[in-house]
Structure 1
Amino acid sequence: MTGLQSAGGVSRPPALRPGDEVRVVAPAGPVAAEPVERGMAVLAGWGLRPRLARHSLSRHGYLAGTDEQRAADLVEALADPAVRGVFCTRGGYGSQRITERIDPAAVRRDPKVVCGYSDVTALHLALWRTARLASLHGPVVAWDDQRCPAESAESLRAAVMDAAPTVVARLSREASAPVVVPGRASGTLLGGNLSLLATSVGTADLPDLSGAILLIEEIGEPPYRVDRMLTQLRRSGVLAGLAGVALGQFTGCADRQGVDVAQVLGERLGDLGVPVLGGLPLGHGQTPHTVGLGVPATLDTVAGTLTVEPAVRPV
């Protein structure tokens, strides 16, 4: 099985099929068993065979087990030929501590579906840098039916099992929705959680974003911290060659002093000279959708859509 499945050497894993085994790993923070069991039931409802990694429910302070335990589960899942997909239990913190233990040769040899968001952004970045693996920015296995209703579940299922483009439409309810810099742009969709992007500056994992559409989302950071992280990205020079910016959900990013996070996003991104589209339901908010990372995408501010090519290939 070759990993080079599309132009530019991007490795797209085979779409999942009923009967496929998928491994549930915890590369970051600890989580309770009940929401993980609910998420596994969602996966099983599609005909998949979810299996918990050995340390998925472990706890080591604010981590889901020691670095050695979390890394061992991840490395084993990525290398096991019986495993066709790797789903993360949750974000939190800790993925950056183990990304250097990934075996890129194993990933290139047998590309698998890898899905998660938030702190898992570090894993997405590392897999893209080392193996050019297209991965999936979507809900984690610690499932919340209220936050992730049937629409979110279907978006995730389609992204991992159907090799078809995904169209995500802007929603006026999202905190980032007021931010729109008109235009249309195409490029590789990269990015994820703003905090993880900012803390990746100066590391090997932050990719060259020239010509890319940068996806950004965040939770629980007040506007001044969002400003600080965007300023860090600007000053580092990594935003200089972007094709466009796709703004996802900025959940719980209100300010007691009345500063609007949309105002900060507009000020720090509006003068980059590229299209910016806010209001996309991608991230920690209500009814999040799933999109591929490392694949071509088109941002259209007139239509109010982000159209993303599939991160999986037909089987």
Structure 2
Amino acid sequence: MIKTLFGKTKQLCVLSLVCLSLMAGKVDAERGYIYSCAIQRDYRHPVSGQVEDSGGEKSFEIGQGMVEGSVYGSGMLEQGSSGRLNLTFRMSLADFSGNYQFWIQPGGTGAFQAVDYSITNTGSDTNGTTKDVSIAIPDVNTVIRGSMYVEPMGRAVIFYLSPASIQEGYAGDMTPTLVTEKEAGEPASDAVTAVNQQRTSERQKSATPGLSSEKENKSSSASHLSQSPTTSLTSQKSNRKKGGKMGLMTSLDQKQPSENLPASKGSIMIYYLPTVTILLGALFLYIKKKRKSHDKTN
């Protein structure tokens, strides 16, 4: 009988550990919203106008054409319930390029930060192999600096990407990596259009010599830092400034401590650990009691 009880206890322990590991493994998946967007592809930096590639300004036309030929003009933007954002875009001509590297620049100003990426899908088009690249970004105004080694040229090429023309809903074939269940959102196409127009206007102003307009936009955004990151992009009013635009977490919002950060795997394990401990303790006492009664009968 004692062996039977110990066997059942062992099975329960194994089952508990399996359940905990499954729950921890689902932490990275969220409910949220998925949007279609345009991918702005630039040989020049879209805010400063700087050409960082070694080809220089004299190679702008060739460089711009190469960037547009290497990256598709449409992508997918995911907004998790915690406020996290993932941008997915498609690279073409993958048979002739590789060694991708990416950096992000929140708001299009300041220092670039190296960022990891994942290849979510591979396919093909008339130019050969394609690869879908997914990157976590801090806000919708982020500029992505990309580098890829182009074999026919024998060198790496520097280019810039950023999301634009965000629209509610996504009907493409890219694979979501952040959002597993879509939230029900209120349609607000007019608001989305107005916000996108405002964003384009801000980009154009900030690209002119002397970035005073960019500084003005950043200062005016400070009054909107209380914007909730869990609110749907399409349900926001169109008069939001850069800091709280589209209901998404921007670089300004990210500087403040957030209580809505996604739970880590460790915190999930700790949350369920007391329950498992209580169950195992109860089983231990039950076995001990049964053992005593068994000894008395013998």
Structure number with the higher strand fraction is 2
- TM-score interval (norm. to shorter): under 0.3
Question: Taking structure 2 as the reference length, what is the TM-score of the superposition?
Answer: 0.26
